Amino acid sequence: MRLGSQRIATTRRRAAGRRGAGRLAGGRLATARGYTMVELMMAIAVFAIGVSGIIAMQKVTLASNIHAKNLAIATHVGQAWAEMLDSDSAAWNHPSQLNGATDLDADTVWLKQITTNEGKWIRPAHNAGLKFGPGFDALGNPTSVIGDAAFCTHIRLTWLKNQTDIPVGNGLIRAEVRVFWHRDVQGGGVDDNPLCATGTDPLKIADADGAKRHHFVYHTTAIRQNTAVR
């Protein structure tokens, strides 16, 4: 009987303990509280600040990528113009020991500009036969349509050794190529002209106002006379 009474008492104590634990748990659940409106607003504000920083970084990265692309295209355009001027010298064969009369003015496409515009920045004319000129579209392809030009080119030719210097047939020209395009923050061309307009004074492109409107890439090379030997 004692053993049975002890078992009954133990069972009752365990049941009472479970009921007490249930009431304690229920009390804790009853006293648990959620987030207040102020806490939610503070969390949203912190999240918004973080997101705005990420967006600002993305804008800077995008602008940097666009500028790097334009810089690469402009560099390619400058190199292309240097190669075209070098190719133009293939028709510059005289004066030479065989012929004292120069053919620079008559036979070259762009190098002849040194005769009347030595040391001056000029906008070279577009050559329909070569399909090449001062204007290039946004992908760096030559274009004759002024409105389509995203990049424009000027050249400046200067004698390093005049073709008439003795001995003749050793003419050497310094050729400078300037490629420019609009800055996004400024926009608009000089005197409200399109970027590569024929009426724009080349001197205004790089003056104080023009420098604020454009990015520039310069390329310099030397063009040697292709002297005829027979």
Annotated domain spans of the chain: 72-224
Whole-number pLDDT of residue 9: 54
Question: pLDDT: is 62 or 94 the higher one?
Answer: 94
Instruction: Supply the pTM of this predicted model.
Output: 0.74
Inform me whether the pLDDT recorded for 123 exceeds 60. yes
pLDDT digits (tens, 9 = 90+) for 73-95: 999 999 999 999 999 999 999 99
Mean pLDDT of 185-205: 81
Assign 70 a pLDDT band (cuts: 50, 70, 90): very high
Cα 192 to Cα 210: distance, rounded to the nearest angstrom? 11
pLDDT digits (tens, 9 = 90+) for 14-54: 555 555 554 444 444 445 566 788 878 888 888 788 777 77
Mean pLDDT of 122-128: 96
Question: pLDDT: is 44 or 219 the higher one?
Answer: 219
Whole-number pLDDT of residue 64: 82
Mean pLDDT of 56-85: 90
